[in-house]
A = this chain, B = another copy of it.
Amino acid sequence: MFGRIAILGAGAIGLYYGTRLALAGNEVRFLVRGDLEAIRTRGIRVRTGDHVEVLFPAKACADANEIGPVDLVIITLKATANDQLARLLPPLLQPGTVVVTLQNGLGNETLLTPWVEPGRILGGLCFVACMRTAPAEVTCFHTGMITLGEFERPLGEQARAVARLLEGSGVVCRLVENLAEARWRKLVWNVPFNGLSIAAGGVTTDVICADPALTAEVRALMEEIRAAAKALGHDIPAAFAQRQYDVTPPMGPYQPSSLVDHLAGRPVEVEAIWGEALRQASQVGADTPRLALLYALLRSLDQRRRPSGL
């Protein structure tokens, strides 16, 4: 069903899933910027524990027109680079191209509608711990899974086909009836922990969990997200939030992905995570004062971090 596949954006997530798909025999093209030469000359290296897999040759281009129309586009760009989509995406499309966004936060599917028929848009949430450890190299600490759903419609054949493709490449998939709810569920952890880890001074999650004032704010932010989700029609049980909290202390000194970006001087996905959550909450009249303050602070911190970090 998916003869030609394009991976749009080759950070850790793009390199990892693209390599899985290619090693399983699929025809995969990587649309990349920074790592182009490294990928072309050395291929892509995926480290998982002591195990190293190499994809060579790996087909990478910097220009979407060199790739041309494909059957499946997997978007793994940082949401902060979404302004590049208008240039990068259209050359990859033909009638019937399915587009899956694996990006963080809310609103990434909607952003595709100028170019992609809504019925061809899918979204996925990556529960995976991997890092780009060198050019064209990704190290995977926890292979996790992808939660996959269709955009503003119940589960259908397209999501099942993508799941089969991914499962056939060794990627665990979970299908969800309601993609929007799945995205809001992920925010229950991401909004407090990714946000406070930056705003509280660049702290790992264990520092947050050891600080009673910050812990109380984590729980209050989780409640605001649950209330906003509920106002939007997504019923997230209190027990889900409790579990999201409970899994965190055992993670030890964990750096949420947004903190990793922030400390490296890279832009943080402030709009996709906090900004879009706040806007959707406000539209349905949900009261989210802590989310509003956290968003304003992260936006300001992000604006100030970038120049010094680059």
Contact = CB atoms under 8 A, between A and B. Distances in A.
Contacts of A214: 296-297, 300
A193 interface: no
Interface stretch (A109-117, A197-205, A229-237): A197-205
A37 B300 CA distance: 43
A4 interface: no
Given A213-B299, A300-B211, A220 B305 contact: no
- Name which of A196, A203, A213 has the most chain B CB atoms within 10 A of its CB: A213
Main secondary structure of the interface of A (DSSP, over half): helix
Given A203-B300, A211-B296, A211-B299, 12 more contacts: A196-B297, A200-B296, A200-B300, A201-B303, A213-B292, A213-B299, A213-B300, A214-B300, A216-B292, A220-B293, A290-B290, A290-B293
Contacts of A216: 292, 296
A295 interface: yes
26 contacts: A199-B199, A199-B297, A200-B296, A200-B297, A200-B300, A200-B304, A201-B301, A201-B304, A203-B300, A203-B304, A211-B299, A211-B300, A213-B292, A213-B295, A213-B296, A213-B299, A214-B296, A216-B292, A217-B292, A217-B293, A217-B296, A220-B292, A289-B289, A289-B290, A290-B293, A293-B294
A108 to B, nearest CB: 21
B305 A201 contact: yes
Interface in A272-310: 289-290, 292-297, 299-301, 303-305
Contacts of A211: 296, 299-300
Contacts of A303: 201
A310 to B, nearest CB: 16
A301 B208 CA distance: 12
A295 B199 CA distance: 12
A123 to B, nearest CB: 27
Contacts of A305: 201
Contacts of A296: 200, 211, 213-214, 216-217
Interface in A181-227: 196, 199-203, 207, 211, 213-214, 216-217, 220
Q: Shortest 10 CB-CB distances between A and B: which pairs?
A: A213-B296, A200-B300, A201-B304, A289-B289, A201-B301, A217-B296, A290-B293, A214-B296, A289-B290, A217-B293
Interface string A95-136: 000000000000000000000000000000000000000000
A297 to B, nearest CB: 5
Nearest to A202: B304
A213 B294 CA distance: 10
